[in-house]
Chain A
Amino acid sequence: ILNVEQSPQSLHVQEGDSTNFTCSFPSSNFYALHWYRWETAKSPEALFVMTLNGDEKKKGRISATLNTKEGYSYLYIKGSQPEDSATYLCAFIRSTGNQFYFGTGTSLTVIP
């Protein structure tokens, strides 16, 4: 069984706070790591596709880093806003297959 772990499971922060959460995945047979943002009653929306060790990607106030040797990725949100409230999912893809292995997500609530 391949485990993709996300922590914390849920997070409440005040508007304006910066926050980060973690995705842990197997360090062998790495192909790619995806981050998705999933708002209630909507579809998961891709944030980042990361393929190289040491990758750092940024989109507005959200950024992500990747360490494939130790098997983790961090997602950072700078100056959280209420509209950032969502579940953030990571998905690991290994080089030996086609499956996306999703974590169970980090649920972020930003309190105005």
Chain B
Amino acid sequence: NAGVMQNPRHLVRRRGQEARLRCSPMKGHSHVYWYRQLPEEGLKFMVYLQKENIIDESGMPKERFSAEFPKEGPSILRIQQVVRGDSAAYFCASSPQFAGNTEAFFGQGTRLTVV
């Protein structure tokens, strides 16, 4: 049973380009969470999704950021028109049910660098 897979592991984008980050949850997991870690800061919640539904996106910037978790395929975090301040590590986690009362399993993250 493979763990949570994130790709790419490293992504370099020029200012103004789009960044697409992918997260394949563990088999049987229908809940996905995205977190961002800015330099010298802790993990910050961005969005919580279940298959085809956004449950809570209160941690996601209102503009340029979007997330989806389609019925088939990985969850995608999309950042349009990237700026230098978007440079960070983006982690996703998955769980079989709401991860408040069960373990969440993390991927190894995608490190986005905006040049």
Query: Does A associate with B in a complex?
Result: yes
If A98-B48, A103-B42, A105-B42 touch, whether A46 touches B103 (CB-CB below 8 Å) is: yes
Q: How far is the CB of A23 from chain B (nearest CB, A)?
A: 12
Choose from A34, A43, A97, A102 the contact partner of B42 (Cβ within 8 Å).
A102
Q: Is the CB of A43 within 8 A of B48?
A: no
Q: Is the CB of A43 within 8 A of B3?
A: yes
**Who on chain B is nearest to A31 by CB?**
B100
If A100-B33, A103-B42 touch, whether A49 touches B102 (CB-CB below 8 Å) is: yes
Q: How far is the CB of A43 from chain B (nearest CB, A)?
A: 4
Q: How far is the CB of A33 from chain B (nearest CB, A)?
A: 10
Interface size class of A (residues with CB under 8 A): 20 to 34
Stretch from B53-61, B65-73, B79-87 forming part of the interface with A: B53-61
Given A43-B3, A102-B42, A104-B42, 14 further pairs, Cβ under 8 A = A42-B108, A43-B91, A43-B109, A44-B43, A44-B91, A44-B93, A46-B105, A49-B101, A98-B55, A100-B33, A102-B43, A102-B45, A103-B42, A105-B42
Binding site for A on B (CB under 8 A): 3-4, 33, 35, 41-45, 48, 55-56, 58-59, 91, 93, 98-109
| 17 sampled A-B residue pairs with Cβ under 8 A | A32-B100, A34-B103, A43-B3, A43-B106, A43-B107, A46-B105, A49-B101, A49-B102, A89-B43, A97-B58, A98-B100, A99-B45, A100-B99, A101-B45, A102-B35, A102-B43, A104-B42
